Structure 1
Amino acid sequence: MAEKQIALLREQLAKLDEKKFDLDAWKTHTLIFLERIFGKDNSKLKLIQDLHYDYSSWSLRDTAAAGKTKDKDPVKLRASEILEATILELETLGLPEGEEEQQKLWKLLQDELTGKQVKEIEALAKSDDKEKTKKSAEFLKTSTKKTFLC
């Protein structure tokens, strides 16, 4: 069921091993994919956003003292762990249920409202209006009254 999403995340996992790895570009792509899969408020997005290289003198000193090599890059290791856990979650549990619930809601709305009303509510849902939830509720109240009175 989540094959496409898993494939996207596996591609991002493979990009961690590229010679010309750009952390910021990788993070941008990964955040876009994770937001699409899990939504804007998922903790995985925060984990990816927090990935960064620490160039402080203490960090550089500790790295040199420990003799860490390129293939043990702590940022890439952390990124890899996050993606592997995410892939395992999708393989085991499937997609989050919120997506399916949204699809059910849209189906119900399409069954009950006229085509024009569906287009209006879709446009409102896609808008950047800060009060779109309130306006959507008001729209549905008035639309359903009109629908059931006719």
Structure 2
Amino acid sequence: MATPMAKHGLTIAVNLRQNVHHIGCLQNISALLMPRCAVQTTCPLRTNYADWRMRRDAIRRQLTKEHSQERRLLNCIRKNTILPDEVKVMADQEIASLPRDSSYVRIRNRCAITSRSRGVVQRWRLSRIVWRQEADANHMSGVQRAKW
């Protein structure tokens, strides 16, 4: 499935199945898109969820984490204006073959307690309703209800 082509003096060889991308003088585009230092997280996996929506969102987050680098590389190829159309079509087909839930736009921020998706206060990962209850009960450090 490798397609060597020459256009505007650039030699392009793309093998999407094996994630090998060579474009012009850039020897490996994946080296540009890789993070400088990979940090291993040792967070314990959560096993109990408030409801099935929270579980589905956790699965989506895991799929996004697994396929993010490949999806990012393919999107760069798709949006490149120098590459020929055949290569862009191949990248489109590869993106279509990835799991639908591996896209980051399908991730929804949810309350960690109730799994509510709307009105989530990002700093605490709580919905506005739970956040207010916890603040009123003085269970949150540094938060005080306004009184006048």
Range of TM-score over shorter length: under 0.3
Q: Which of 1 and 2 has higher RCO (CA within 8 Å, sep 6+)?
A: 1
In proportion to residue count, which structure has more strand? 2
TM-score, with length taken from structure 2: 0.27
In proportion to residue count, which structure has more helix? 1
